[in-house]
């Protein structure tokens, strides 16, 4: 028996070509702009949008109450570009404030169109909300009022950042410029993040803008990530009670002390005169009711301290 008969043909096996791998889709090559490199990722821009969404909500609530007219702020766009492109894209009548806020390393700027800030000031001063600010040069009185109004708006800016960086300090208005060209916070080739905010004041439309140079965020850029956002959100939830109590701590509540109650006929009420004595259905030894808001919370005993009427809390009220 020929043992070689069952062996495969070595030459035939060597001549057999390997199958070719054909790619259905060519490998995608990502473009890289060496002139304007991307320094902010999509996650960074999304988190910046969330921070300023919170800012818009707080300013909307505050201005609606202060101006007593419909106002709406909303983030329109978040993008990265060079500081030179930012200057060219902004309108000429944009009032620009140079700001400083820890832990941002460098200064950044906040812009608002002149007719918007003018409408706010006119409304705060009792007008109809029509801008009266005109001309390139602002008077000292106008500058003072504008700064006070901007501080009213900018005090809400750190709140959104505190969810990401709890150590964020209050924002400081360093300077006020009449145009964005005058606020040189970065070189024209530096990359910045631009947050554009749509503003509606009654029927008046305009925009605000926040310009954040990459250099200002360089030390905390790692914090602006999806993971850190989740971590700080969890931290905020765990401390939400303390946060809410701190916010509500300065809220005024009406306090009423009910010393006694009584009933009179309508005829007796209509004939009341100064000097009349009304008999109450409360004994001198009974405790007075202490109402906080619309809720009966405590029972107390009336007294006097330094010629002032006072009530000592005796016990907590229970419906039982």
Domains and CATH numbers, the chain: 42-238 (3.40.1550.10), 255-316 (2.30.330.10)
- Determine the pLDDT at residue 248: 73
Backbone angles phi, psi at 181, to 5 degrees: -65, -25
Neighbours of 212 (CB within 10 A): 23
| Token output for 97 | 């404030």
What is the number of other CB atoms lying within 10 angstroms of the CB of residue 81? 15
Whose tokens are 């062996």? That residue is: 7
Look at residues 84, 206, 97 and name the one whose alpha carbon lies nearest to residue 152: 97
Please report the pLDDT score of residue 229 as a whole number.
46
- pLDDT score for 119: 86
**Token pair 């806020």 in the structure block, residue:** 101
pLDDT for 231 equals 46
Which stretches of the chain drop beneath a pLDDT of 50? 4, 18, 21, 226-237
Helix residue spans in 10-134 (DSSP H) = 10-15, 42-67, 83-89, 114-124
pLDDT digits (tens, 9 = 90+) for 181-217: 888 888 988 999 999 999 998 888 899 999 999 988 8
**Integer Cα distance of 78 and 46 in angstroms:** 8
128 near 207, Cβ under 8 Å? no
Q: What is the pTM of this model?
A: 0.60
Instruction: Determine the pLDDT at residue 211.
Output: 94
């Amino acid at each position: 028996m020929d043992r070689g008969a069952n062996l495969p043909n070595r030459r035939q096996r060597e001549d057999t070509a390997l199958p070719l791998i054909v790619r259905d889709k060519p490998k995608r090559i990502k473009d890289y702009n060496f002139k304007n490199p991307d320094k902010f990722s999509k996650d960074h821009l999304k988190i910046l949008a969330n921070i300023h969404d919170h800012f818009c909500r707080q300013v909307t609530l505050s201005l609606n109450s202060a101006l007593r007219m419909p106002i709406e702020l909303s983030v329109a766009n978040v993008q990265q570009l060079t500081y030179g492109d930012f200057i060219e894209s902004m309108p000429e009548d944009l009032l620009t404030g140079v700001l400083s806020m820890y832990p941002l390393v460098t200064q950044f700027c906040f812009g608002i169109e002149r007719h918007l800030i003018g409408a706010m000031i006119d409304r705060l001063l009792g007008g109809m909300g029509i801008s009266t600010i005109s001309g390139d040069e602002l008077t000292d009185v106008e500058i003072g009022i504008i700064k006070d109004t901007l501080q009213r708006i900018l005090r809400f800016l750190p709140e959104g950042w505190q969810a990401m960086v709890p150590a964020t300090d209050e924002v400081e208005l360093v300077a006020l410029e009449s145009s964005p060209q005058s606020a040189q916070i970065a070189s024209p080739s530096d990359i910045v993040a631009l947050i554009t905010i749509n503003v509606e004041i009654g029927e008046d439309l305009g925009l605000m803008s926040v310009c954040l140079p990459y250099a200002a965020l360089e030390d905390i850029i790692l914090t602006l990530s999806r993971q850190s956002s989740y971590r700080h959100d969890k931290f905020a939830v765990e401390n939400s009670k303390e946060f809410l109590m701190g916010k509500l701590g300065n809220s005024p509540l009406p306090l009423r002390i009910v010393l006694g109650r009584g009933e009179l006929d309508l005829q007796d009420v209509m004939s009341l005169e100064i000097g009349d004595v009304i008999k109450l259905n409360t004994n001198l030894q009974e405790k007075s009711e202490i109402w906080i808001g619309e809720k009966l919370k405590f029972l107390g005993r009336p007294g006097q301290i330094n010629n002032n009427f006072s009530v000592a809390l005796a016990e907590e009220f229970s419906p039982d």
